[in-house]
Amino acid sequence: MTNEERFIASCEEVGETDVRDKLSAGRYGERKTIWASSWLERMDSGKSDATKAEERSGLLPNSTTANRYFSYATLVIFVVLLLAGTTVFLIAVR
């Protein structure tokens, strides 16, 4: 298996969104950038026009956005529980 084939296999494993994110962040070297771009073009050519339009309009869920919202929600829950615990403690101390 060539380096390109291994790289393409890893792209298929992590998914299109992750590859696009890394590509736009400039995290690939010159050769991998070419391979990733080529792979993404093949992925895009296999999609229907309707799917492409949905992706552009943001109707399909984005795992990066979902992960970000989950992190925010977890932080908010932690802060609320911390404040509630502090309030209970202060009432008990009186």
Q: What is the pLDDT along the chain (94 residues), one digit of tens a residue?
A: 899 999 999 999 999 889 999 999 999 999 999 999 999 999 888 777 666 666 666 655 556 667 778 888 899 999 999 999 999 999 998 8
pLDDT value for 44? 84
Residue whose C-alpha is closest to residue 36's, from 49, 51, 21: 21
Q: How far is CA 82 from CA 18, 77, 85, in A?
A: 34, 9, 5
- Domain spans of the chain? 1-60, 61-94
> What pLDDT is stored for residue 89 in this prediction?
93
